[in-house]
Amino acid sequence: MKRIGVVGIVVTGGKEVVLEMQSVLSDFADIIIGRMGVPRAEGNAIALIVEGATERVSALTGRLGQFPSLTVKSAMTSFEVE
């Protein structure tokens, strides 16, 4: 069962962590349907719109949460898609 949700990411690390984060995002490209980034001096903010099984979204946030310079939160809707 697929659902729509949002994953919020705040990046406080340098270019090195951004490259690693991008690699993870590429691994989960099949569930990412939209992406918006806002540069800030304190830390860059990224919002991902995701569509997929809850387990797959949890796997994405779990992988991103392993980076100490990333803060990650997700919210899934109850809206189900085919």
- Full pLDDT tens readout for the chain, 82 residues: 999 999 999 999 888 999 999 999 999 999 999 999 999 989 999 999 999 999 999 999 999 999 999 999 999 999 999 8
Domain assignments of the chain as residue spans, ordered by start: 2-76
Structure tokens at 79: 């809206």
Whether residue 21 contacts residue 27, with contact meaning beta carbons closer than 8 Å, is answered with no
Dihedral over Cα of 79, 4, 12, 39: its sign: negative
CA–CA gap between residue 30 and residue 44 (Å, rounded): 23
Torsion of CA 56, 8, 3, 31, to 10 degrees: -50
CATH number given to 2-76: 3.30.70.1150
Structure tokens at 55: 């387990």
Q: What is the pTM of this model?
A: 0.93
